[in-house]
Amino acid sequence: MSFSIRPIQASDKDEWLALWTGPDSYLEFYESIDKVTDEATNTTFDRFLDDAEPVWAAVAVNDEGKLIGFATYLTHRNTWKVENTLYLNDLFVHPKVRLGGVGRALIEYVYKRADELGCGKTYWNTQFENHRAQLLYTKVGKKSGFLLYIRP
């Protein structure tokens, strides 16, 4: 299977929404469809297209021009560095095309964007139980040694 990676476009919204909230989607995988409002989803998509926002998305597109995956990422300040830091917020590849290099290509695209944006650090997190993703992540990154805590 061949595919390409490119920045998201306004015309991608319906297909991105299907990957985001539809059957076999990102939010379904994380059992979070009821936790993310339509307003948050629409605002997020609008931010991808707003040059004033430090939030972006890249999409993986197959030979037929259909979206098969995405990565969302943002930059923020860091108290330990002068340069901004890039956070890979979401990474998703449709289950039917996993293990074909799409996830790795999306991460490599984000790494390239981090370099272009002058970010001194790139990081992401995943669930402890997401073992399949971790098989890839240990090939393209390294564990930080930190645990993530959130406000209850």
Residue 22, H or E segment? none
**How would you write the pLDDT of the chain (152 residues) with one tens digit per residue?**
799 999 999 999 999 999 999 889 999 988 898 899 999 999 999 999 999 999 999 999 999 999 999 999 999 999 999 999 999 999 999 999 998 999 999 999 999 999 999 998 999 988 878 778 788 888 888 888 777 887 88
Sheet with 67-76, edge to edge strand ranges: 3-7, 55-62, 67-76, 85-93, 121-123
Under CATH, to which class is 3-140 assigned? Answer: alpha beta
Question: Which sequence spans correspond to the domains of the chain?
Answer: 3-140
Contacts of residue 136, defined as CB under 8 A and 6 or more positions apart, other chains included, come to 103, 104, 107
The pLDDT, as a whole number, for residue 88 is 96
Task: Say what the pTM is.
Answer: 0.92
Give strand pairing partners of 123. Answer: 87
Which region, left, alpha or beta, applies to residue 136 given φ > 0 means left and ψ of -120 to 50 means alpha? alpha
